[in-house]
Amino acid sequence: MTRPLVRPARKNPILRTRLPTLPPGLRSRVALGLTAAAARGRFELQVCRDCATVQYPPREACCACLSRRLDWRIVDDGGELVSETTLRHSHELFFRERMPWRLGLVKLDCGPLAVAHLHGDCAPPPSRVRVRLHLDRAGQAALVALPDKDTLHMADDRQLREMTCDPKFRKVLVTDAKTPLGQALVEAVVAAGADLVWAGHAEPWKKPPGFERLASLAEVSLVPLDLTNSRAVTVLAGEIGGRVDILINTADYHRNFGIAARDGVETARAEMDINYFGLLRLAQEFAPAMRARGADGQSSAVAWVNVLSIFALSNFPPHGTYSASKAAALSLAQCLRAELAPSGVRVINVFPGPIDDDWNQTLPPPKIAPARLAADIIAALRSGAEDVYPGDIAQDWLERWRDNPKALERELAALPHQ
């Protein structure tokens, strides 16, 4: 049984903060198919279209019939732990620093035999396990074998925590805590065991319903933060930047206009100023300290969450300028991901469908409730994924976009404009 995590002791200030090291990160192009699946939290392996063989590790051709017609498909994640090994020595710096490390050989029900990182609660072989694809600290896919059934404090497993971004005992900044999503997230992060939550709020003279309640939570500190104000971002980063383990950027400016429905560029500029430049300002001020703290003990800097929109993938014309700002933010988030990669800090991009808030009032359901979205973001932090598409609309659009982006563009253009 996993021992529950205890609140880490305060940092000894005479010791050097360790620099982040990463597990081996090079992959062949075909092996990046695993990473693509892990990024979405899916257990996909190559399946031969000709002989139906499931294979692992990924290869250019089928290991059974040499066919090159291989599809990435979700496969059965059950398996039998055949043997286990405890690693006590490695030339890889990342593993050297984390010895001992348990590995196991798993015979997957769908066919292949694979080496997987072994959760501490897996019973000795032979035993049943579930296998997951997680992104590791290098941002690449790794197989993780979990016990057949959930166990108590399972998320606190030392090896698993190296591959997740669990908020437990971590310090979290929610950049805009005033919106319905921001409020729900602050509460969800507190419920997830965060040590401290900084709740950012702009324009303090505007008090939306419910916001006062947040200040009464013991773990919550209200901090002034307006992403349009470079100096304010710099000041806050100077004050707390070196302590933020998880940054969740909820700041969002959303109006419902295409091009023709609104005169001038002011609304679109306001959207860009928060959704794109706001992210840039945050990244310039907060990312450097997070990059330096990727290995800062049990509660190191681990994750940067961007709440984007499914509209970032393909323009939703009734909210056309908003879609464009979110597409710009997505592109910048990819840059941020590349720049944070050497530190092991994960950039998680969240692409919700329409949120059930004021700015989507006239959109028909289904719309994702702020509390549901907050729960999905917490789940993403506890998982090994980096691209999350919460809600039915997001899932539907994503599948249509992956299948045929041009078709989705035409379908969205044909929707009645408001």
Partner 1 sequence: MAMNEPVLSRLVAGLAAGLIRIVDLTQTLSPDFPQIVLPPEMGQAWPFRIEEASRYDARGPGWYWNNFSCSEHTGTHFDAPIHWISGRHLPDNSTDTIPVRKFVAPACVIDCSRDAAADADFLLTVGHVKTWERRHGRVPPGSWVLMRTDWSKRTDPVAYQNIDETGQHTPGPDSEAVRFLVEERQVLGFGSEAIGTDAGQGFHLKPPYPCHYYMHGSGRFGLQCLTNLDLLPPVGAIIIAAPLKIKEGSGSPLRVLALVAEPATKAGARAASKPKSRKRRAPRTKRR
Interior angle at CA 106, CA 101 and CA 109, nearest 5: 155
Binder of partner 1 out of 16, 149, 231, 406 (CB under 8 A): 231
Residues 170-209 that bind partner 1 (CB under 8 A): 203-207
As measured in angstroms, the least distance from the Cβ of 412 to partner 1 is 23
Instruction: Please tell me whether residue 270 binds partner 1 under the rule CB under 8 A.
Output: yes
Instruction: Please tell me whether residue 229 binds partner 1 under the rule CB under 8 A.
Output: yes
Q: Which range touches partner 1 (CB under 8 A), out of 21-29, 265-273, 285-293, 402-410?
A: 265-273
| CB nearer to partner 1: pick between 202 and 385 | 202
Please, what's the b/e burial string for 263-284 (b: 16 or more CB within 10 A of its CB; e: otherwise)?
eeeebbebbbebbbbbbbbbbe
Q: Which range touches partner 1 (CB under 8 A), out of 16-24, 129-137, 229-237, 364-372?
A: 229-237
Instruction: Please tell me whether residue 264 binds partner 1 under the rule CB under 8 A.
Output: yes
Query: Is residue 136 helix, strand or coil?
Result: coil
| CB nearer to partner 1: pick between 26 and 260 | 260
Interior angle at CA 349, CA 340 and CA 144, nearest 5: 80
As measured in angstroms, the least distance from the Cβ of 362 to partner 1 is 12
Q: Is the sign of the CA dihedral 268, 271, 274, 279 positive or negative?
A: negative
Nearest CA to 116 among 144, 88, 93, 75? 144
Give the span between the Cα atoms of 269 and 259, in whole angstroms. 13
Instruction: Please tell me whether residue 267 binds partner 1 under the rule CB under 8 A.
Output: yes
Instruction: Please tell me whether residue 124 binds partner 1 under the rule CB under 8 A.
Output: no
Contact 225, 233 (CB under 8 A): yes
Q: Give the number of residues in contact with partner 1, rule: CB under 8 A.
A: 16
Q: Which range touches partner 1 (CB under 8 A), out of 30-38, 70-78, 263-271, 291-299?
A: 263-271
Within 27-106, where are the H helices?
32-39, 93-96
Instruction: Please tell me whether residue 362 binds partner 1 under the rule CB under 8 A.
Output: no
Instruction: Please tell me whether residue 284 binds partner 1 under the rule CB under 8 A.
Output: no
As measured in angstroms, the least distance from the Cβ of 145 to partner 1 is 50
Helix (H) or strand (E) holding 84: strand 78-87
| CB nearer to partner 1: pick between 16 and 231 | 231
Give the span between the Cα atoms of 327 and 339, in whole angstroms. 19
Nearest CA to 114 among 155, 140, 142? 142
Q: Which two tokens stand for residue 357?
A: 């808030």
| CB nearer to partner 1: pick between 228 and 298 | 228
Pairing of strands 101-108, 78-87: antiparallel
Q: Where does this chain bind partner 1 (CB under 8 A)?
A: 203-207, 226, 228-232, 255, 264, 266-267, 270
